[in-house]
Structure 1
C-alpha cells in the first residue's frame, strides 16, 4: 500500500511538472521542424533480456508514434525520423534487418491512416526490399494532399549520399536543358542544392534531438542541419518521456540562435 501511494505521488508530481513545462512553451518559441535520431533500441532490448533487437525496434517505433503526437499537439509543422541509415543496410545482420524492414513498413502504414498527417520517405530506395518500398510509396500516395503534420521517414538515408544525389540531379537537369559547365558554375548556389535534396521545399530542422546519450550526427541531414540546434537525451529511444521532449524544447527556446555567427 505504501509503495502504491509513493508511486501515485511521483505520478502526480510528474504531471504537475509536465504541465509547468508546457505552459512555458508559447507558439513563438516552438520549432517548426524537429529532427529525431532515435537511438538505443538494441540496448533497450538487451537490458530487458529480450533475445533479439526486434523487440527494441518495435518499442522504438511505438514511441515514435507517441513522439509525433507530442509534436503535432504542440503545433510543430515538420518532423523527420531517422529510422534506417544507408550504412545500416550493410552493417546490420540480415535477421535484424528483415525484422526492421517489416517494422518500418508497418509504421508507415499506420501513420498514413492517422490524423491528417503527410508521410514522405526521405532517402534512397536502393537496397530496400520491394515490400518496404511498396509500403512507403503507398503511404506517400495515401497522404498526398493532406494538410497536417508532415512526417519525413528517413529510410535508406545517408547525408553524404543525399548531397551527391542532389548534385547529380542538378547536373542532369542542366545537361537536359542544354547548359554548359560554365553556365552551371554560375548558377550553382546553396539554395539550388537545397531544392534538390530529399527534403527540397521543406524548412531545415530548427532542432535535432538524439536519444541514448550518444552525441554524434551519424550522417544525418548534414546539409540541412548546418544551423540547427542540437539536444542530446540520455534516455534510450523506447524510454523517451514527454518531459524529456519538453525539456529539449525549453532548452531550445532559451538559446540565442546565431546561424553561423
Structure 2
C-alpha cells in the first residue's frame, strides 16, 4: 500500500462514522473485457471485507444477453474472500451468499416478477391484496437486501440496478473507469460514506 493509500486508510479508521455493512458495485459487461478487470474485482471484494463489509453485491449490466451465460461461468470462478452466488438474467432463485453477483438482472424486470408472483397468490386466494407489505415484495426479489453504499464507476447512472433495494442507499459516483479503479478509490468512497448523515428518505 502506497503512502497516500495509508493516509486514506488511517482517515477511514479514525472517522467516527459507521462503515458500510453492505456494499454494492455497478460495472458493465464492457468493463470486464478490459485487461485485469477480474483481478480488480477480486481486489475490490478483498477491500470490502477488509473494511468490515459483511455483504457485497456486484451488478454487471449487459448489452448483449447472449454474453450472460459466459459471464456467469467466469464470475463463478472468482478468487473471492467469501462464498459467491452468481445469478443470470433469467434466474429466480434468491441469492443468499455473502457475495452476490447479478448478470444483466435489471431492477425493473426483478420488481415486475415480484409483483406478478404476488398477483398469482392473490388470484389463487392465498393472499389478501390489502395486506401486501414491503416485506412481501422483498421476499420475492432475487437480491432482497438493501445496500448501504452503492459505487458506480465511469458514469453517473445506475443502469437499472436494484431499483427497489437501493432507494435509501448512499450513492457514490466516480469518473474513474473500472480498469483504473484502485484501493485509494475504494477508500475515498468509504470515507465519503462515513461523512454522510443517512436520512433513509426522511
Shorter chain as normaliser: what TM range?
A: 0.7 to 0.9
Q: Classify 1:173/1:40 alpha carbon distance in 2 versus 1 (closer, same or farther; 3 Å).
A: closer
Structure 2 Cα separation of the partners of residues 234 and 152 of structure 1: 24
Which 4+ runs in 1 deviate beyond 4 A? 39-42
Q: Is the Cα contact below 8 Å between 1:78 and 1:150 reproduced in 2?
A: yes
- Greater Rg over alpha carbons, structure: 1
Aligned to 2:64: 89
| Correspondence for 2:107 | 159
Q: Distance in 1 between matches of 2:175 and 2:24?
A: 17
1:109 paired with 2:74, answer no
Give the whole-Å Cα distance in 1 for the aligned partners of 2:89 and 2:29.
23
TM-fit CA distance, 1:233: 1.3
Which residue is equivalent to 1:29?
Answer: 18
Q: 1:231 to 1:247 in 2, by over 3 A?
A: same
Counterpart of 2:47 (choices 66, 70, 74) is 70
Cα contact 1:209–1:230 (8 A) shared by 2 = yes
RMSD: 2.8
| 2:89 aligned to which of 124, 130, 137 | 124
SS at 2:143 equivalent: coil
Matches within 5 A, 1:35-74: 35-39=24-28, 41=30, 54=33, 56=34, 59-74=36-51
Q: CA separation in 1, counterparts of 2:121 and 2:89?
A: 19
Provide Cα deviations, 1:196-229, integer angstroms capped at 9, x if missing partner: 11123x3x011111011x1111101100011111
Q: Aligned equivalents of 2:192 and 2:29: distance in 1?
A: 22
**Structure 2 alignment gaps of length 5 or more:** none
**1:209 lines up with 2:198 in the alignment:** no
Q: Please, which moves more after superposition, 15-24 or 233-242?
A: 15-24
Indicate the residue corresponding to 1:48 in structure 2: none
Q: Normalising by the residue count of structure 2, what TM-score does the alignment of the two structures yield?
A: 0.84
Report SS of the residue matched to 1:110: coil
Find the aligned partners of 2:122 and 2:140 in 1 and give their Cα distance: 12
Return closer, same or farther for 1:125/1:246 CA change in 2, 3 Å cut-off.
Answer: same
Judging changes above 3 Å, is the alpha-carbon distance between structure 1 residues 15 and 250 closer, same or farther for their aligned structure 2 residues? Answer: closer
Q: Show structure 1 runs of 5+ residues with no match.
A: 1-10, 43-52, 127-136
- Secondary structure at the aligned position of 1:160 is classed as helix
Count of aligned pairs = 200
Do 2:69 and 2:88's aligned partners in 1 also have CA atoms closer than 8 Å? no
